[in-house]
Every structure is written in C-alpha cells, then in structure tokens.
C-alpha cells in the first residue's frame, strides 16, 4: 500500500527552519502521491522500505567537494539515440553541476560479457561498471556510460534499463529499448524521437541520482521511482518529488528557482512543452515566496 499523508510528511522532514524559498521548493502540494502499483510494476515485485530525507542524511551520502565537482558522460559503442550534447545539457540543468563529455569507447574496451539473444546482444552491466570505475577522472564526481546495446544485470534477469552504484559513483544505461522500433511498434507512436528523448532523460537522471546515494522513491510520483517496463517509465515524471529534491539539494546546494528556470529553457528548446510548463509553475511558486 502507498504511504499515507503522515508517512509522506515524515519522509520529507520538517522544513520550518528553512527560508521561504526553500519551503516553497519542497512544498508537497503540487506533487502527486505515488499510486498503488499495477501487477507488473516495480513495487508489485520488489519490496522496498523507502528512504526518508533524515535517513538519507544519516547515511552520509556522497557529495561533490574538493576537486570532485564534474559529472562525466561517456558514449559506449556506436552513437545512437539522442545527441549526447543534448543529454549533457539536460544533466547540467537537472543537477546544476559542470558536465563534460569523454571520448567514446568501443564496447570491447569495457571487457563486459556479451549475451546473445538472437536478434540482439546484451552487455553484462556489472562488468561495464567495473570498467568505468577505472575511468573516473580525477576531478569527476561521477561517470555514466551511455550505450545503444541492451543491458542485463545477471543471468536470471531478462534486461535492465540502467544500473548505478550508490557509493562508487559510476553508472550505465542503455537506449536500446527506448525506440518503439525495438518492439516493432513505431507506427503507433507520433514523433517517436520525443519518446526516446523523454525516456533517455528520465533514466539518466534516475541513474545519476543513485550516485548521490538516493534510493528508489516510494512516496511520490518521481523520477527516482523504480521501473520494470517502458509503460511504467512513461507514467513517471521527469522531475524529482519534494523528498528527493530535498536530498539532491542537501548534496549539491543549488538554487531551486534557478534550477527550474534552467530546466524550463531546456524543455522549451527541445519541444517538451508539458515538462516546460510544469517546471515554470514551480519556479514561479518559489519566486512568489521570496
């Protein structure tokens, strides 16, 4: 059963000691509580305790500091899917940190085990992560690999959209299943490139979020919700709920108003109108309280 209002309030923690702008940023009223999971959804098949803001702080998560202040993106294998420059632009707005793109690497360089699935191949995600740990630059807070090759986490699993470490600050995600053509359904999707873009942004934000020590969200509809399949991914918003936004703010210390304004510019530029309208409303709410 989804958490009730009292449990959600406990997850957010007290905001009475914060300035009015931050109180507005973490106001739960505009956010939708998480819905009961459908039969095949993540929370129907995975038991998760939930991570409150206070639990997050007590866990002493990784935080940028010293020379480790840059997020790095690295393409793995032939380029495909959304432009990595566009993905980097989104990451700069979402995380409010410097983002750099590393030279691409061939799949063979990862040393990852390859599983043959007939019509396509898959990379063993933990193998990729082991290699990326050796490639994290000295000034890098985190490194995420982007590939068009499908991923799987272990032999008993069919696939995984992405995978990241909570402590070692590396991750990888695949765009292989984002395009409707993977399932032979491209004729049913208007503007399929926008579907690929939305899915890519969500999963990248989700996996990098793990690198800040954020566990799956069980309180609100949030980009940090777990996901078992594309339909579930598509139902999730691309934004952080108030609990997870507060966690990320604790880790980085950004200005929430500026963050939402930067995200609005990105969404408008890339013709993602509903997303742009939502973040603009949040920015206006924060500005009105200052």
Cα 78 to Cα 53, 149, 164, 183, 222, distances in angstroms: 39, 9, 21, 20, 31
Residue 195 near residue 180 (C-beta atoms within 8 A): yes
Residue 225 near residue 51 (C-beta atoms within 8 A): no
Partnered with residue 147 across adjacent β-strands are 76, 174
Q: Distance (Å, rounded) from C-alpha 122 to C-alpha 77?
A: 12
The strand order across the sheet containing 170-174 reads 99-101, 70-76, 140-147, 170-174, 162-164
Spot the catalytic one: 48, 108, 186, 207.
207
Pick from 10, 87, 205, 73: nearest CA to 214: 205
Residue 24 near residue 242 (C-beta atoms within 8 A): no
Q: Distance (Å, rounded) from C-alpha 207 to C-alpha 197?
A: 16
Tokens of 59: 């866990």
The strand order across the sheet containing 114-116 reads 114-116, 121-124, 150-152
Whole-number CA gyration radius for the chain: 18
Tokens of 13: 């923690």
For this structure, is 231 an active site residue? no
Q: Distance (Å, rounded) from C-alpha 30 to C-alpha 281?
A: 9
Q: Distance (Å, rounded) from C-alpha 171 to C-alpha 209?
A: 10
Residue 132 near residue 142 (C-beta atoms within 8 A): no
Catalytic residue numbers read 207
């Amino acid at each position: 059963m989804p958490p009730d209002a009292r449990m959600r309030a406990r997850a957010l923690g007290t905001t009475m000691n914060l300035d009015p702008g931050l109180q507005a940023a973490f106001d739960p009223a505009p956010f939708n509580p998480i819905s009961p999971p459908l039969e095949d959804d993540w929370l129907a098949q995975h038991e998760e305790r939930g991570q409150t803001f206070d639990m997050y702080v007590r866990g002493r998560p990784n935080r940028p500091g010293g020379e480790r202040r840059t997020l790095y993106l690295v393409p793995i294998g032939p380029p495909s899917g959304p432009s990595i420059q566009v993905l980097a632009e989104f990451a700069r707005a979402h995380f409010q940190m410097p983002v750099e793109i590393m030279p691409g690497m061939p799949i063979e360089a990862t040393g990852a085990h390859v599983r043959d699935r007939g019509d396509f191949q898959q990379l063993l995600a933990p193998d990729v992560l082991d290699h990326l740990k050796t490639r994290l630059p000295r000034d890098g807070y985190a490194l995420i690999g982007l590939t068009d090759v499908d991923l799987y986490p272990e032999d008993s699993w069919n696939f995984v959209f992405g995978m990241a470490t909570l402590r070692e600050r590396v991750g990888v995600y695949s765009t292989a299943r984002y395009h409707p053509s993977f399932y032979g359904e491209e004729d049913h999707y208007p503007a399929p490139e926008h579907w690929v873009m939305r899915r890519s942004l969500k999963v990248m934000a989700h996996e990098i979020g793990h690198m800040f020590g954020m566990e799956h969200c069980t309180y609100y509809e949030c980009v940090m919700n777990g996901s078992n399949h594309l339909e579930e991914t598509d139902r999730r918003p691309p934004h952080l709920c108030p609990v997870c936004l507060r966690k990320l703010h604790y880790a980085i210390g950004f200005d929430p108003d500026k963050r939402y304004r930067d995200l609005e510019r990105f969404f408008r530029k890339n013709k993602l109108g509903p997303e742009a309208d939502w973040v603009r409303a949040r920015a206006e709410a924060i500005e009105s309280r200052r």
